[in-house]
């Protein structure tokens, strides 16, 4: 499977971020019960510094069931600590049988918080 490219992810520092991309194959949602997921924002690509990690391990991603959704959430306190800028990301999911798939990849923009 080729990963989808989605460059629309963004948030403003200090705002709560939530998104729930859904995985479909041939117009049917994938049952993602028991999957783990990892999304990292990195400066400068694959070898760059990780500025934010969202995962099922740290509770910032929750895998759905038959709806194919991975609900991604970062609290306002978490987003406030991320520097403003443009970062690379991917979303990798791993099945209960240890098959890893990259669902999304692209550019993620963090906008500076103005009101304090």
Q: Which residue has tokens 């998104």? A: 19
The secondary structure of 29-57, three-state, reads: ECCCCCCEEEEEEECCHHHCCEEEEEECC
Q: What span, in angstroms and rounded, lies between the C-alpha atoms of 8 and 5?
A: 9
Q: Return the number of other C-beta atoms located less than 10 Å from residue 89's C-beta.
A: 19
% of the chain surpassing 70 pLDDT? 94
Output the six-digit token pair for 27: 């117009």
Q: What span, in angstroms and rounded, lies between the C-alpha atoms of 96 and 36?
A: 8
Give all domains of the chain, ordered by start, each with its CATH number: 4-111 (2.60.40.10)
Question: pLDDT value at position 116?
Answer: 77
pLDDT digits (tens, 9 = 90+) for 27-78: 899 999 999 999 999 998 777 899 999 999 999 999 999 999 999 999 999 9
Strands 100-111 and 10-12: parallel
Question: pLDDT value at position 3?
Answer: 53
Alpha helices in the chain (DSSP H): 76-80
């Amino acid at each position: 499977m080729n990963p989808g490219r989605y460059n629309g992810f963004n948030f403003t520092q200090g705002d709560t971020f939530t998104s729930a991309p859904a995985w479909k194959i041939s117009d049917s949602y994938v049952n993602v019960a028991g999957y783990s997921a990892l999304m990292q924002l990195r400066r400068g690509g694959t070898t760059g510094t990780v500025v934010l990690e969202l995962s099922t391990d740290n509770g910032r991603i929750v895998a759905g069931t038959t709806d194919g959704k991975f609900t991604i959430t970062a609290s306002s306190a978490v987003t406030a600590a991320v520097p403003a800028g443009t970062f690379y990301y991917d979303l990798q999911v791993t099945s209960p049988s240890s098959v890893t798939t990259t669902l999304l990849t692209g550019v993620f923009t963090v906008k500076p918080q103005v009101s304090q």
